[in-house]
């Protein structure tokens, strides 16, 4: 399986981590602790789950233009996911990863895989995503 590469991980590398499929739409602003790297929306079934170092599959985002600053702070604190796989491209999260790269902080790769194909990668397994988007598990 190969993902579309939206923003390569920085520094350039193969990213690895355990898969976390988000079950509900997420807003990084207010839905993720920028200091702890955990899901903070108390209405969510995954409240308290860590996203740090995970390969995060997101089917639907709830938008806030501040999401890029949350991702940037996660990168600064080394609490960011190792990769984010979106069902659709998102300029806000991509901006956070691009700025982290410019600041020379470790930045997650941002990839795209349609929502209907995301279920082919099981929850909780360790995956690797190469710089060209090739996934192995």
Q: For the domain that residue 96 is a member of, what is the CATH number?
A: 3.50.30.10
Mean pLDDT of 12-18: 97
Residue 62 pLDDT: 84
> What is each CA distance from 36 to 1, 41, 70, 119, 133, in whole angstroms?
31, 13, 11, 27, 28
Q: Which domain holds residue 111?
A: 4-136
The number of distinct structural domains making up the chain is 1
Task: Place 129 in a pLDDT band, splitting at 50, 70 and 90.
Answer: very high
> Does pLDDT of 119 surpass 80?
yes
Residues with catalytic function: 64
3 neighbors 135 (Cβ within 8 angstroms):
yes
- pLDDT tens for residues 48-104? 999 999 999 999 998 778 899 999 999 999 999 999 999 999 999 999 999 999 999
Task: Place 44 in a pLDDT band, splitting at 50, 70 and 90.
Answer: confident
């Amino acid at each position: 399986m190969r993902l579309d590469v939206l923003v390569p991980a920085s520094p350039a590398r193969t990213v690895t981590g355990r898969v976390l499929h988000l079950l509900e739409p997420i807003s990084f602003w207010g839905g993720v602790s920028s200091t702890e790297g955990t899901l903070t929306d108390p209405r969510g079934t995954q409240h308290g789950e860590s996203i740090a170092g995970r390969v995060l599959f997101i089917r639907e985002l709830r938008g806030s233009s501040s999401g890029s600053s949350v991702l940037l702070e996660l990168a600064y604190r080394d609490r960011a996911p190792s990769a984010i796989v979106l069902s659709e491209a998102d300029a806000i999260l991509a901006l956070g990863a691009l700025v982290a790269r410019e600041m020379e902080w470790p930045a997650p790769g941002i990839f795209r895989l349609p929502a209907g194909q995301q279920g082919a990668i099981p929850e909780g397994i360790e995956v690797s995503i190469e710089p060209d988007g090739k996934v192995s598990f």
